[in-house]
Amino acid sequence: MSDTDTAIIVGVGPGLGASLVRKFAAAGLRVAAASRHPEKLDDLITEVTDSGGMAKAYECNAENEASVISLFSCATSDLGEPAAVVYNAGAFVPNSILDTSSEEFQRCWNIGCLGGFHVGKAAAQRMAPRGSGTIIFTGATAAHRGGARFHNLAVPKFGIRALAQSMARELGSQGVHVGHVVIDGLILSEKHAGAAAERGDDALLHPDSIADNYVMLHNQDRTAWTLELDLRPWSEKF
């Protein structure tokens, strides 16, 4: 294993984030799992370690650039230079535009977009000089259209998509692959247990199946890179 076989996953929770940690570890990368509450990742880290992988939890508040810089410094020191970085953090508060406060809107934008800029910049600063690496942003249907009461999600998701496009066009020629994954549908979770019971488990996106595609993007040959990938279950209308 080389000193660049490290993945940094920012925004690790019990759903897609946890699956990303498991899948990148299973692919042979050392994984830095970053969360605002790293103590909640103890069981995940133990699971990965017991399965023969290598993962370590780190605290990170992506809204704060100093926190992101500290994450990259510590993770690099502990595990090695990042070959793959995923920004999976986000916040969503459905609300009427008539009732949304400036503070609520700004918080969703800070987590959904500004944090992605901080992480993307930190990753690019380490990858571009080496001429290799993968940076992936988690997007959503809202990155393409803003629905009623969805402005708190749509605005940052539009922004993160634009960031990914700009970064890809700048960094591709420097050997850095930037990807944006549009998650079009509900992800199977306890939160969406009702929808799964009504529609069937395979009518929702499985987090492990989503994570497989992130690993695939990281492993793509640079003669055929994907910038944007749409993922949806077979039953989803679009």
pTM exceeding the 0.85 threshold for the entire prediction: yes
CB within 8 Å of 54: residues ≥ 6 apart:
25, 30, 31, 48, 79
CB-neighbour burial class of residue 51 (10 A; exposed 0-12, middle 13-18, buried 19+) = exposed
Question: What string of pLDDT tens digits covers the 238 residues of the chain?
Answer: 454 599 999 999 999 999 999 999 999 999 999 999 999 999 999 999 999 999 999 999 999 999 999 999 999 999 999 999 999 999 889 999 999 999 999 999 999 999 999 999 999 999 999 999 999 999 999 999 999 999 999 999 999 999 999 999 999 999 999 999 999 999 998 887 788 778 888 899 999 999 999 999 999 999 999 999 999 999 999 9
Residue 119, domain member (yes or no): yes
Q: What is the distance between the alpha carbons of residues 80 and 60, in angstroms, rounded to a whole number?
A: 18
Both tokens of residue 53? 């992988």
Residue 1, domain member (yes or no): no
Residue 76, domain member (yes or no): yes
pLDDT in tens, 19-51: 999 999 999 999 999 999 999 999 999 999 999
CA end-to-end distance (rounded Å), the chain: 42
pLDDT in tens, 142-151: 999 999 999 9
The helix/strand/coil state of 59 is strand
Residue 237, domain member (yes or no): no
Which CATH number is 34's domain given?
3.40.50.720
Q: Which domain holds residue 50?
A: 6-231
Residue 4 is predicted with a pLDDT of 54
Q: What is the distance between the alpha carbons of residues 39 and 35, in angstroms, rounded to a whole number?
A: 9
Residue 19, domain member (yes or no): yes
Handedness of CA 227, 228, 234, 238 (dihedral sign): negative
Name the nearest CA neighbour of 202 among 234, 161, 154, 170.
234
Instruction: Give the CA-trace dihedral at 156, 161, 163, 169, to 10 degrees.
Output: -170
Q: What is the distance between the alpha carbons of residues 206 and 115, in angstroms, rounded to a whole number?
A: 25
* Domain count for the chain: 1
